Amino acid sequence: MERIAIYGKGGIGKSTTVSNLSAALAQKGLTVMQIGCDPKSDSTINLTGGKRIPTVLEVIRDKDKATRLSDLVFTGSGGVLCVEAGGPKPGIGCAGRGIIAAFEKLAELKADDVYKPDVVIYDVLGDVVCGGFAMPIRNGYADSVCIVTSGESMSLYAADNIAAAVRSFGSRGYASLKGLILNKKGIVNEAAIVAQSAREIDTAILHTIERDPLVQQAEALHQTVIEAFPESPQARSYAALADKLFNCEKTAGRAAACV
C-alpha cells in the first residue's frame, strides 16, 4: 500500500487534482481510498455525484462507539473509496486534532484490512502548516508528499512552508517530498517562476496541469474530468500524473508494483 499526501494552499486545485488522480488510478484497476483532510469537507464531492458525505468527525460526534466503517467510507465513482475527515465546529477545537481523530477511528475499525486499498491519497489543506495539519506527515500516515502550486506568490509561499515541514520531519524517517505539481493559473512566465521556486526548495516539478474550462464543465456535472471527458487532453494529463506518481502496472485486479 502506498500512502501519499497532497498538500497545497486553499483553492489551488488540490481536490480537483486528487479526485482526478484517484479516478485515473481506479481506472487502472487499483483500489483507491481518498481522504479529505480539509475542514471544507468537499474533497470527494465530484466522486459522489455532488452529494456531501458525512464527515468522520460528524459521525463520531453522533454515534461515538456505535460508529461503523460503513458510516465513514463511501464508494464513489469508479469505485474510489471516499472519506472526509471533517473539521471541528467553527471557532472551537483544533482542525488538525480532528484529522488525527479521524485517522485513529479508521485504524480502530481496521479500514485498511477491510478495504485493502492499494493507494491512500490524503487531500490536505496547507495554508497553515501547524502541528495539526502536519499530522499526515508526522505520524507515519503518509509515505510521501506532493505539493500543488501555481505561480502565484501565496501558493508558492505555502509550498515553501509545507516543504520545510516535510524536511523537518524527514530526518526522523517520516514522509519524503516527491515534488511539486504545477496547476497553472495563467500567470506570465508561470513555469519559469515555479521552476525557480522548485530549485530553491530543492525539489522538482513532477507534472504540469494546464488550466482548462473542462474542469468547470465536469464540476457542473458533479464529475471528475476523467469520468466526464475521458478522451480529453486534460483527462490524459491527470492519467499521466497517476503514472508518474505510482508507476503502477495496469492490471484487472490488484496492482502489483507502486513506487
Which positions are catalytic? 9, 14, 40, 127
Residue with cell 486545485: 13
- Provide the grid cell at 41: 469537507
Tell me the window of 54-62, 95-103, 174-182, 230-238 that interacts with ligand SF4 (CB under 6 A): 95-103
Residues forming beta bridges with residue 179, ordered by sequence position: 146
DSSP string for residues in 56-91:
HHHHHHHHGGG--HHHH-EE-GGG-EEEE---PSTT
Does position 131 interact with ligand SF4 (CB under 6 A)? The reply is: yes
Does position 126 interact with ligand SF4 (CB under 6 A)? The reply is: no
Helix, coil or strand: residue 3? strand
Q: Are 105 and 72 a contacting pair, CB within 8 Å? A: yes
Residue number, 188 or 252, with CB nearest to ligand ADP: 188
Residue with cell 495563467: 186
Pairing of strands 81-84, 32-37: parallel
Pick from 95, 119, 165, 241 the residue near ligand SF4 by CB under 6 A: 95
Pick from 4, 5, 6, 8 the residue near ligand ADP by CB under 6 A: 8
Residue number, 38 or 118, with CB nearest to ligand ADP: 38
Pick from 97, 219, 222, 236 the residue near ligand ADP by CB under 6 A: 219
Binding site for ligand ADP (CB under 6 A): 8, 10-16, 183, 209, 211-212, 215-216, 219
